[in-house]
Amino acid sequence: MAYESCEQSYNYLPVRLSTAQHFVSSTILKYKTSSSMEDDDDDPPRVILNHVFWAFNPCIEGFKYCKSLVQVDGTFLTGKYRGTLLTTIGQDGSRNNFPLAFEIIESEIKEAWM
């Protein structure tokens, strides 16, 4: 609601993550975008977020205190923007889940895993 529409909010995702990367040093951020322009369209091309991967530095640093085992789990996004949210988690010494990294992909295909 802060950005007036789903499209506006979705378009600000790379900006928000880049800001987090700037203020939380050593945060890893990788994303790929493409542009789409329809024929007979006078509007500027739309930026399409193909996939995004991020891992916050506190999560990266905290992994050294976890068991040397990771699990990747996915959940399907079912709203206006379809895709899959992948979460990589570890387990600390008290058997608590510890978030490590996150990725939003179009679907679980070989290129997304790379």
Q: Is the pTM of this model over 0.95?
A: no
> Bigger pLDDT: 111 or 21?
21
- Dist CA 44 CA 35 (whole Å): 10
CA neighbours within 13 Å on the CB side: how many for 105? 16
pLDDT at 61: 92
Q: Contact at 8 Å (CB) between 10 and 17?
A: no
Greatest mean pLDDT among 42-51, 67-76, 100-109: 67-76
Span 23-32, average pLDDT: 86
Q: What residues contact residue 108 under an 8 Å CB cut-off, 6+ apart?
A: 74, 84, 86
Residue reference for tokens 């493409």? 34
Return the SS3 of 40: coil
pLDDT at 112: 55
87 pLDDT more than 60: yes
Other beta carbons less than 10 A from residue 108's beta carbon? 13
Domain boundaries, the chain: 6-38+46-113
2 pLDDT more than 80: no
Element housing 16 (H / E): helix 13-23
pLDDT at 37: 67
- Dist CA 45 CA 38 (whole Å): 8
- Dist CA 23 CA 104 (whole Å): 22
